[in-house]
A and B are shown apart, each in its own frame.
Chain A
Amino acid sequence: MNWRFALLALGGFAVVYFALVVCGVVPLESLAKMIQSAVGSPAGWRNTLRQATPLLILGAAVFVALRAGLFNIGADGQFVMGAMSGTAVALANPGPVGMVLGMVSGALVGALWALPAGWIKAYRGGHEVITTIMLNNIARVLSLWMVTGIMKDPDEQAATTKYLPTETLLPLIYREKALQINLALLLGIAAVIGLWFYLKKTVSGYELEATGGNPTAARFAGIAVKQVTLKAMCLSGALAGFAGALQVLAYEERFYGGFSGGVGFDALGVALLAAGSPIALLPSALLFGIIAQGTTALSLDGVPKGMSGILLGVLIIVFAAYRYRKEAARD
């Protein structure tokens, strides 16, 4: 099995190498430059961590659903709805109150947006992949309607809300020269550690993982599988909505049309790479952040942004193959 994996890894590297050659740059040099620009300077770290923050929390959202045996493709829609409601609430209540209420409403609306999917899955047997895809599309349409309608800043041409006042925004916790770290990152890490504690140390979390592992066995062990499914989906939605609200309150400072940019789908990759342990979400999200930031830097050399998709695809496949090779060896 080993040589097969080596071949796959080599193939993946060849794809990346070839893609960089097609772009007209020197491949190894630009890969080094990519990493250098993402983690080689304080400014690079700032951008990388900024990119990694929503991925981390969204990754946690997808992860908790996965542990309950649910595939939450809907993180993207829940993220958008959380961001939109967070913006609306924060705009209505300036100051720290708006900041806190914005985060709470983001999480609540995210959970509400996941509720139909969870309910249909638990009580009607409808597949969560379909329902969350539908809810994503509805969220996209609804948010565009809101942001071109009642939430639109009348002074702006584009579909965007007003900017939040500075005192409503999340503060920086660290600021030294170019390196700035927002409180959002800390909240994200706290969410991941909280999730770890919940899954590994509480009865409710144990029930969730048992349901995901084998629903029939869980039912015979006296676990209310339907409620657990509903709960897991809502928890996942709440995390995704929370990530959306944080994105507004920490980085974007407003809500606009096409807000997510597909970050909810990247989060699927983050969660799938992390596999078994919530703590593994941290390096996984960081890796995705490095790729996002590194390819942004490469685009200055004329490398199209499609490079990030290629890198992500290759990494997801190679890492997954590596992990399954280990699992196969254990069997």
Chain B
Amino acid sequence: MIDPLVILFGLASIQGLTLLTSALTLSSPLILAALGGLCSERSGVVNIGLEGKMLGAACAAGIVGQLSGNPVLAVLAGIGVGTALSLLHALLTQTFRMDHIISGMGINALAVGGTSLIAKTLSNQLSGRMASFPIFIYWVAAWTAVVGIWWYLKSTRGGLRLNAVGNDPDKARQMGVNPVHVRLFALLWTGIFCGLGGTLIVTNAGSFSDEMTAGRGYIALAALILGGWRPIPTLLACLAFGFFEAINLQMQGQSFFGQTIPREFWQSLPYLVTLVALAGFLGKNKPPSGLGRP
């Protein structure tokens, strides 16, 4: 005879396990993008361009993955385009001293238009699923990167410099640290992380479609701000967004106490929770004080 409690527990854990894997899958691109944002914002560059960088990377990785059939080339293409867009951001904000938000929006517009145009012109040569690595590898990359960045910011020379530049570029300059160099380095990593994030999104879908990042870059930015620009809390915020998205997928159409809750409620739940969290207690996170300064 089997204890009914065991059965109940077993059922719950199977449900829980699919929920967990689905939450992990959905949060990984967010984690990667948010880490990209973290690198850039901790060095003082406001990054609203995460969305465009991921979209560009997703397009490049998808198309190269389909044309070449080689997963290594696909990932490299994704990282390459993400990095190129990020370095463009560095050029505009550091060399041209342009407003960080304006240049980020410009990059987003370029990415939306450019990817759609390229995908359209190549559309009759593209078919089938892109070649790609298993999703699992991206999870490992995302989680390792969180720990890596946490350690880097906390206990290396470079991390302290990054922080110094982000908090007060003028003082950093006086101490002999060149903010432009530090930010170039930081934005390079932003590009790499956004590239991985975009590649992961297109890997999940199998092929590129217009605006497929669907605002995840903005959600990642929200997670970064919710996490107070710190790696571990940012990771938790990304997990929470992924978790709610997973709940939304699982709970659709299920009834509670005889009432069917509309799908739309579950869809908007993560956003509502974020709003309430901000209204309640999470609002006081302090941004790096050098954010947006030349």
Contacts and interface: CB of A to CB of B under 8 A. Distances in A.
Q: Does A associate with B in a complex?
A: yes
Interface of A: 4-5, 8, 15, 19, 22-24, 71, 73, 116, 119-120, 124-127, 129-131, 133-135, 137-138, 141-142, 144-145, 265, 268-269, 272, 304-314, 316-317, 320-321, 324-325, 328
Contacts of B215: 133, 137
A129 B110 contact: no
Contacts of B116: 304-306, 309
A328 B294 CA distance: 12
A306 B280 CA distance: 41
B103 A317 contact: yes
B208 interface: no
Given A129-B222, A137-B215, A317 B92 contact: yes
B221 interface: yes
A231 B272 CA distance: 23
A136 to B, nearest CB: 8
Interface in B265-294: 267-268, 271-272, 274-275, 278-280, 282-285, 287
23 contacts: A22-B117, A22-B118, A120-B279, A124-B280, A126-B282, A130-B221, A130-B222, A133-B218, A133-B222, A137-B268, A137-B271, A138-B268, A304-B121, A305-B116, A306-B116, A310-B113, A311-B113, A313-B108, A313-B111, A317-B103, A320-B99, A320-B102, A321-B96
Residue among A138, A145, A308 with max Cβ neighbours from chain B (10 Å):
A138
Interface of B: 48, 92, 95-99, 101-103, 105-121, 210, 215, 218-219, 221-222, 225-226, 262, 264, 267-268, 271-272, 274-275, 278-280, 282-285, 287
Nearest to B273: A134
Given A4-B95, A134-B274, A324-B98, A126 B121 contact: no
Given A310-B117, A314-B110, A129 B221 contact: yes
A321 B102 CA distance: 10
A90 to B, nearest CB: 24
A212 to B, nearest CB: 14
Given A116-B275, A134-B274, A312-B113, A317 B106 contact: yes
Contacts of A312: 106, 109, 113
Nearest to A130: B222
A141 B109 contact: no
A306 B109 contact: no
Contact of B121 (A22, A131, A137, A313): A22
A159 to B, nearest CB: 12
Nearest to B115: A306
B98 to A, nearest CB: 5
Contacts of B225: 127, 129-130
A5 to B, nearest CB: 8
